[in-house]
Amino acid sequence: MLSSVDLRIKYLRAMSDGVATVESSIIHSGRRIVHATSVVCDPDGRQLALGDSTLMVVLGKGESSDKGEKRQKPRKNDEEG
């Protein structure tokens, strides 16, 4: 599951007619953080909006990370301190 850490949208111009298209890409995908960007264009290819987002990978109970490792509960000695 992904949880939003940061979301920014820059509205550049209004659209009056036609269908908008969106092109999105992941610019970096780490073990816990993902950076993505999007561009919204009108039918003539003019940019209407730009967006970028930072997302955190959130693992549920018992889910494994992308390296195939199981999440471990802290050992009793690790909890004390």
Average pLDDT, the chain: 85
Overall CATH class of domain 2-60: alpha beta
Q: What is the pLDDT of residue 34?
A: 95
Per DSSP, which regions of 1-81 are E strands? 2-11, 21-29, 33-41, 47-57
Runs of H (alpha helix) within the chain: 76-79
Q: What is the pLDDT of residue 50?
A: 98
By the 8 A CB rule, do 12 and 21 touch?
Answer: no
Q: What is the pLDDT of residues 44-64, one digit of tens each?
A: 999 999 999 999 999 887 776
pLDDT-based confidence at residue 81 (cuts at 50, 70, 90): very low
